[in-house]
Structures are given as C-alpha cells and as structure tokens.
A and B are shown apart, each in its own frame.
Chain A
C-alpha cells in the first residue's frame, strides 16, 4: 500500500503597522510525503519543495527497514472532495481590501491597529494506491489586528478579527463600531461574585478537554476522565464533537490516516455523558477503544495522536436572554490543575447586557472547576451573533469573579 499526502499552501499576507500597510508577503510552499505500508510496517519519506515522487517512494520503501510497526486495518478506498470557491477575494486585491478596512479604522484616532490580514489558499490531498482520493481545497481570509489604546502603555489592548470566505466590509464596520465604542466606554465591575461568562470559541474550556479526552491518556488510566466513561459527568444539554467539518474549521475533513467520519464529526460527550476519548488507529487498537479517526502529526510523520479539533454543539438559542454577562476578549495564561480546578486572569473583557456590549471592564480573575463550568454552571452554546467569522459559536458558563 502506498499513500501520498500533499499540502500546497499559497498565501498573501498584508502586514499592518500603526494602521498603515507596512509590507506585503507572498508565499507558495509545497510539502508532501509518501508512506509505504508493507508487512505491517510503515516507511515514510517527506520533502519540502518540488521533488520527484518516485525518489520519495523509494526512500519511503527503504525506511520500512527502520521497523516502525503499522499492523492496522486500512480504510476502504474512498473518493471525496471539499472544494470551496466561495471566497471572491484575490491575492492581487487583498492589499486594497485591507486599505479599505484601515480607512474605516483610521477614523478611531484613539487607537492604533497592527498585525496581519492573510488570504490563504490551501489544497491538501490524501491519495493511496487502492484508489482513495480525498481532496480539500479552500480559500479564506484571516484578519487579525491587535488594538492598542494610544493613551495606555500596554503591549496591546484587544483584537479585531475575522476568519471566513465571505468578508463583508459593511458587516465588519457595523460590528466593530459597537466594539470600538465599547472599548472607549469604561465601566465598573458588576457587584455580583458570579456571572455568566461568554467564551468566544471556547478555547479556555476545551484546553482541559483536549488533554483529558486523549485516548492514549484515557487508555493508560492517566486521564481525569478514565473512570467517567459512560457516566453523566457534565450538563445534560452539553454535546462535544471531534470536529473535522471543513466549512467551520478551515481544515481537511479527513485525518492523517485518511479517515472521514459521518458529517465529519464524532461525538465524544453526548448529552453530558462521556462516550469516548479521541483515537487514532494505533491507540484504538492498543487500548481497545472506539476508533474516532483523530490521527494528527506533521505532514511526513507517522500518524500520531496529539491535538484534535473539538467543538461544542449549539444547544441554546437567543444569547440576549442570558441578561447581564461578561464577554471575554483576552484571558491569557490561565490553566487547570491536574484535578480540574481552573483559574485565569482576564486581561480584557466587556460587560454584556441583554444583547448589548456595554463597555470595557477593568482586569479581574475568573475561577471554577471543569465539572462545574460544564456541569451545573453551564449555560449553553449559542450561534455567535458577533461578526468575527461567517459561522461560529460562543459558549457560556457561570464563573466566580474576583
């Protein structure tokens, strides 16, 4: 069996310094690897840049002698493509688009904006000698500007961002007018010692889950969740997916072993019950765990198990109904203890009240425990009303405020 994994990434990046375009960067990079699997062993050879595939295959065949075992059932041949051409931006026009954004931002003289807007065009393919052909082709804009308040001496004071394929300048202006107005409106900390906290994207919540749901950690009994599989550990409405959906993830719908799940997802937590950790072929086989198709690793690595993309399923409507809440912009550096206690400073947050972003709060701390945050204190996951991407969610849970 021979497998070929190829990444062709073309990027144009417009770098912004103090609300002016300072540089334009273009990149066109090809990375590819050939894997040969024979007699339950795997050999891999990879290259950055153009290369002769036959030479790569011969190197991979030679590398079988290293003796890395791969005695796993290979997938049935499959052909599937995700080819998205929705993004109408061109590499040539990106600088003009960014300058339009900067024209809007320059009207806010109290702030400076820096960093990058990037048009990414990826083609990632996984093919094999038995006819498998999986192709992910996508083009999207990543805009991420740091915001500095000119009156303050901080490294930065916030972010403006957009990730997506259908950038709409008017929507961007409309949403960020509200955000920038809020940045200029300082408000006091609410008196409540506990409030709903809105996590955009929910990374602080997923940080512990991605560590503890790793199948290898569960299988070796080192996970906090090892003894909780099959149990109601979290709020009944919470469902967590291993998520390879290319529409929302801007990533291939297949894992590094060429596995495609139904609807590109696999439920790891369903209605609050922990169903499974995420696994590769090796880990599922070794620990007799459900196989979830979550192999990761570098383009020329033996497929391994590390990080995987997790998402909370939308389970609640109408974010406005949560009333008074805190909307996190930057909560950097927080972490969990080994038994699940969480604490983090919140460097930048807005007071949110019934659908309105009221103003910016002073710095504070949040704390809780993973079983509380996603248990009794879990409020829900909502479709995001904020224009930071074409389609995203926010997750809300009550936290102690200090």
Chain B
C-alpha cells in the first residue's frame, strides 16, 4: 500500500476502465473498438492548497505522491483541519457489476443487438443514419491517508442513433438514445425507436416557423430534465457559492424559490447515466432534496464546499475521468412527479407550445433550451409541429411560474454528450421528471 506523508492529507484514486465502441453508418460497420486502460489521480492537501497529479504509470504512484508531498507545506494540525475531519472513511469492496459485466459479453452479441434496429431506419425519408453502441465499465479503487480502502464499480451501456431526414424540400435531423447500467435492456428498444421515427417523419413533413413571443409552455420529461438541470441544477452546485456572500444570501436554505408543489431532487443512487456508488473523494452517494414543495432545502457538495457552508456531505464530488480532480457535479437530477394528468394540464391551454425533444440547453441567469421537436398547443390540444430556435427564461422567476406538474414521470439516460462544466466535458448525468407547464417563457 502507499506510504502517505505525515502531516499532510493524501488520497489516490485508480480507475480500471474497459470500454467498447461500435459504429455503423447506413448499416455498414465503420468503427469497432474494445480497449482497457488504467489511470490514477493523486491528491495532496496541506490545509491551504491542493496538489494534484494524473498519471497512467501505475508503477510510479508512490513517487508521484512523494513529489506532490514535497511541493506541499507540512501541517502538524492537518488532521484537525475541518475538511480533512469531514472526509468519510470507507473500507469496503462493493462490486455491483461483477456478475453482469459488459466485459463478459462477446462483441459480436453487442453488434447483433445494434444491427437488429437497422430496419427501423431503412426508409425513404431517411437519407443517412449513424448507429453507435457504447459501453464502459470502471472499477475504482480509492485509498486515503485517513484510512479509506474502497473498491467499487460503475457501468454504462447504451445505443445512440442519429438520422438525417429529407422529405421533399424539408430537412431535419434527430438523435435517439437510451442508456442503462446493464446490457439486457438494450435488446428491447424497437418500439421506442419506431415511435420516435414516426414522430420525426411527421415533424419534418409539417413543421412551420414559430411566431416569436411569450407563450405558456409544456415541457416533456426530457425537456423538464434539461430545464431542471440548466435552470436550477447548476445553481445548486455549491462551489459557485463558496465565498460569494450575495449568492449565499440569494439562495439561503428555507427560502421560497419555486411554486408550491415543485420538488427537485438529485440522487446518485438512481441507476442510469448519473449513477454513482461513491463519489470521487470516497463519499457515499446520497439523495439530496434540493427544493421541497417550493422551498430551498439543500444543495450539492464536495467535502470542501460542505465544510465552507457548514452543511452535510452529499456525495457530489465527481471527476470526468482519471485525468481530473473531483468538483461539484450533479448525478441524476429531476423534478418529482405531481398529481395531475398530462392531458388535463394541456387541455387548459388556449394558445401555447409543447416542447417534446431538445438538442441542448444552457444555464446562467437566463437559461436556454434549444428544442428539436416542438408543437403548437391550440384550444387544449397538441397540433402543428413548429421550428423553434431557442426557448429562454429567467432562472430566478421561472421556477415560480410552474403551475402544472403531471403524474406521468420518466427518468432518462443517454450515451453521447453529457454535462459540461468548465474544462470537464462531458460527464454522464441522468435527468428527467414529469410533464410541467410553465406560465410564460420566451420562444424564438
């Protein structure tokens, strides 16, 4: 085991990665990659600054630790430092994917599952389709000078398909993606792909340009998920708040920040793209109630931010891979389900817009959703498809504008893309929620 220098806090995270990528274009094989590698991230803390190293030379971890320790200033009271005191210590091996590992599935079986969907996309309206199968299994070992000795794993499998549609003069593209933590669910996606392709063909055929303006907007679970992630999820990442008195005042726990009935949750225990057993500084994943019935009740933390704000650990210190230090990130973030029927919520709208699928979103004071498929709502019914560039709203006011939350609810996981935060992109996250109605959003 590693020799950790006295009077410093140190930890070592080793990632043992197995991954498969298979790609077809128009049913022809273009990519098949199976690879394994290991890497390590090493941290040393002297109570004032952190010193990090990323390496692929696992035989050299001790010397990397020594070099970082030489850079740090020994601190006799490091064990009393509040951040060091707050680090959780776990001694455990928790391998959830030992018996259902993607490593044990032959690559030919993975190709077979992917190719079983080719016929769905073989139609005259589609001029080009790329198909991707992706899996990744990571076994992480985490050791710290406080005594952590932890081995745990995570696994993702997924299929992502992207098609270009050409119907007469009308053009459009759409991505269809699903991800899971095991292989078998990938075998049953035919109905989902079929329905999505039919919807997209109809959309491309009939979509009209939107008349820009303010509308009542209903968001699908996918759009709700992106809205939640962008409009409020990033605001709840507390590294943005440390040392910022104005923001700390604005987001005081207990403050009413959303309409009654709005509950927002982040939960690393949800199986899917955002699943984590432990975060990347060895903290057990938690379910964090960020907003409960409209009231701010929590936020997401690394150990450092939890200590700085005198709050509890939440298990949200995540790194994109072994090349980066953990920072505060979401896991699976969603608005909790409501009590109303989706159709009832829509039936009350005379003139509005329904956002079905999205291309991307972003979140600052103004958050954005770039829809792919959007539709008019007229006299309580979803009608004509619409071409929309972007939907925007103000983070501070929009959560208060939610006045309908459906009982229908879906959590979504994807492959390809993910969440970006400064230099760490993409990190897999899960999101979703119910259908929600927002009284007023700007649509262009």
Residues of A with Cβ closer than 8 Å to B?
Answer: 15, 17-18, 21-30, 44, 46-50, 63, 66-69, 112, 115-116, 118, 144, 146, 148, 150-156, 216-217, 220-224, 300-302, 304, 330, 332-339, 341-345, 347, 363, 365, 367
CA distance A345 to B395 in the complex (A): 13
Expressed in whole angstroms, the minimum distance between the Cβ of A144 and any Cβ of chain B is 8
A18 near B49: Cβ-Cβ < 8 Å = no
Instruction: Return chain B residues, CB-CB under 8 Å to A116.
Output: 422-423
Expressed in whole angstroms, the minimum distance between the Cβ of B341 and any Cβ of chain A is 31
B57 near A338: Cβ-Cβ < 8 Å = no
Which of A50, A154, A223 is the most central at the interface, judged by chain B CB atoms within 10 Å of its CB?
A154
A342 near B389: Cβ-Cβ < 8 Å = yes
CA distance A304 to B132 in the complex (A): 13
Contact of B57 among A15, A50, A330 (CB under 8 A): A50
B248's closest neighbor in chain A, by CB? A153
Q: Which of B216-224, B309-317, B365-373, B429-437 contacts A (4 or more CB under 8 A)?
A: B365-373
Contact of A22 among B39, B49, B370 (CB under 8 A): B49
A217 near B57: Cβ-Cβ < 8 Å = no
B360 near A335: Cβ-Cβ < 8 Å = yes
Contact of A335 among B38, B170, B359, B423 (CB under 8 A): B359
B422 near A23: Cβ-Cβ < 8 Å = no
B67's closest neighbor in chain A, by CB? A26
Given the interface pairs A18-B242, A155-B234, the reply to whether A221 lies near B209 with Cβ below 8 Å is no
Instruction: Return chain A residues, CB-CB under 8 Å to B246.
Output: 150-153
A338 near B171: Cβ-Cβ < 8 Å = yes
Instruction: Return chain A residues, CB-CB under 8 Å to B369.
Output: 333
Given the interface pairs A335-B370, A341-B209, the reply to whether A347 lies near B389 with Cβ below 8 Å is no
Given contacts A24-B50, A343-B444, 12 further A-B contacts (CB under 8 A): A23-B50, A27-B53, A47-B37, A151-B246, A222-B128, A222-B173, A224-B171, A333-B360, A333-B362, A333-B363, A335-B360, A345-B368
Per-position 1/0 for B310-354, Cβ under 8 A of A: 000000000000010100000000000000000000000000000
B234 near A66: Cβ-Cβ < 8 Å = no
B390 near A344: Cβ-Cβ < 8 Å = yes
B389 near A367: Cβ-Cβ < 8 Å = yes
A27 near B323: Cβ-Cβ < 8 Å = yes
Q: Which of B26-34, B133-141, B187-195 contacts A (4 or more CB under 8 A)?
A: B26-34
Contact of A333 among B32, B35, B171, B367 (CB under 8 A): B367
Interface residue? B278 (CB, 8 A): no
18 A–B contacts, CB within 8 A, in A order = A17-B243, A22-B49, A24-B49, A24-B52, A25-B51, A25-B52, A27-B323, A48-B35, A67-B29, A69-B28, A118-B423, A144-B422, A155-B240, A332-B364, A333-B370, A333-B390, A336-B389, A347-B364
Instruction: Return chain B residues, CB-CB under 8 Å to A17.
Output: 242-243
Instruction: Return chain A residues, CB-CB under 8 Å to B55.
Output: 27-29
A222 near B127: Cβ-Cβ < 8 Å = yes
Expressed in whole angstroms, the minimum distance between the Cβ of A329 and any Cβ of chain B is 11
A155 near B364: Cβ-Cβ < 8 Å = yes
Instruction: Return chain B residues, CB-CB under 8 Å to A15.
Output: 50, 325
Instruction: Return chain A residues, CB-CB under 8 Å to B235.
Output: 155
CA distance A205 to B245 in the complex (A): 37
CA distance A247 to B107 in the complex (A): 42
CA distance A154 to B363 in the complex (A): 10
A116's closest neighbor in chain B, by CB? B423
B48's closest neighbor in chain A, by CB? A22
Contact of A25 among B172, B325, B362, B422 (CB under 8 A): B325
B251 near A153: Cβ-Cβ < 8 Å = yes
Residues B140-191 near A (CB distance < 8 A): 164-166, 170-173
B237's closest neighbor in chain A, by CB? A155
B387 near A23: Cβ-Cβ < 8 Å = no
B127 near A333: Cβ-Cβ < 8 Å = no
CA distance A139 to B388 in the complex (A): 43
A222 near B164: Cβ-Cβ < 8 Å = yes
Interface residue? B71 (CB, 8 A): yes
Contact of A304 among B30, B242, B367 (CB under 8 A): B30
Instruction: Return chain B residues, CB-CB under 8 Å to A18.
Output: 242-244
Instruction: Return chain B residues, CB-CB under 8 Å to A153.
Output: 244, 246-247, 249-251
CA distance A18 to B28 in the complex (A): 52
B389 near A335: Cβ-Cβ < 8 Å = yes
Instruction: Return chain A residues, CB-CB under 8 Å to B75.
Output: none
Instruction: Return chain B residues, CB-CB under 8 Å to A336.
Output: 389
Expressed in whole angstroms, the minimum distance between the Cβ of B206 and any Cβ of chain A is 13
Instruction: Return chain A residues, CB-CB under 8 Å to B242.
Output: 17-18
B386's closest neighbor in chain A, by CB? A337
Given the interface pairs A49-B57, A153-B250, the reply to whether A343 lies near B390 with Cβ below 8 Å is yes
The 7 closest A-B pairs by CB, nearest first: A333-B368, A49-B56, A333-B362, A222-B164, A343-B444, A153-B250, A23-B50
Contact of B365 among A66, A67, A217, A363 (CB under 8 A): A363
